């Protein structure tokens, strides 16, 4: 079987591109189950119920990261969406859940775990290594063999370390957050597919999905500058597909991809 994973969706343009391209990606790769990181889907920061409904038409599960609560009111809305995850290593007092077991339309179940990194990230997050260890050992049903981890982290070293830590225990570890797809897709010795960063679903001509001139002004001046999301034109859709054995949960192959979709008349 095959799993699809897409990197951080940025703004309305990213959402539109995912909706347009996902049916073709599923056909091309014969992928039965898809996960997208919706971290930046609402105007470039956070999620809303409307954004979730759009993305849910394309993917079975939507993950997030450090911007999960950026949109006012989503802390109430998240309870309406069992297919949306927030990082598992945030405080248990926060709404939502950090992992879940989901039905694969092709048969069987897939567990998805969402984690937040510590290096150069929010200090309020608990240790992701201890958190995932607890989930795997004490909480996740033992019969579930197919396990996908979205590790939303800044440092490549932390993401690589997590992949090795989970090698042989999960099907795949995808890094997100940097919006730049890395070239290190591989299957580790224990049978876990790994990719340090899946990239983004955002404007091809941009700086991480934001308007180039505004970002340059901010870097050059050092002053606060509004950074508009580029919502139309050529939108790049980055991600990866993993081939795995559902009986064992072991990955056999991983292939990264980057496609461009023309999106017009978006606001």
143 a catalytic residue = no
Give dist(CA 256, CA 152) in Å, integer.
Answer: 17
Active-site positions read 67
């Amino acid at each position: 079987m095959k799993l699809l994973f897409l990197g951080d969706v940025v703004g309305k343009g990213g959402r539109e591109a995912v909706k347009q391209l996902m049916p073709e990606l599923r056909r091309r790769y014969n992928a039965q189950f898809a996960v997208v990181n919706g971290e930046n889907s609402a105007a470039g920061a956070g999620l809303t119920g409307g954004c979730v409904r759009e993305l849910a038409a394309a993917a079975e599960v939507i993950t997030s990261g450090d911007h999960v609560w950026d949109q006012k009111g989503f802390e109430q809305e998240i309870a309406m969406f069992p297919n949306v995850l927030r990082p598992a290593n945030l405080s248990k007092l926060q709404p939502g859940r950090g992992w879940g077991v989901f039905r694969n339309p092709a048969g069987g179940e897939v567990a998805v775990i969402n984690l937040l990194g510590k290096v150069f990230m929010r200090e309020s997050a608990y240790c992701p290594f201890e958190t995932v260890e607890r989930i795997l050992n004490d909480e996740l049903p033992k019969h579930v063999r197919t396990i996908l981890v979205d590790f939303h982290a800044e440092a490549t070293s932390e993401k690589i370390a997590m992949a090795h830590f989970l090698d042989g225990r999960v099907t795949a570890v995808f890094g997100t957050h940097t919006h730049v797809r890395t070239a290190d897709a591989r299957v580790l010795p224990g049978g876990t597919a790994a990719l340090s960063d899946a990239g983004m679903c955002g404007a091809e001509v941009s700086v991480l999905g934001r308007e180039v001139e505004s970002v340059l002004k901010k870097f050059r001046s050092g002053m606060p500058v509004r950074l508009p999301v580029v919502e139309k034109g050529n939108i790049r859709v980055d991600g990866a597909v993993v081939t795995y054995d559902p009986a064992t949960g072991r990955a056999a192959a991983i292939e990264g991809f980057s496609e461009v979709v023309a999106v017009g008349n978006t606001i």
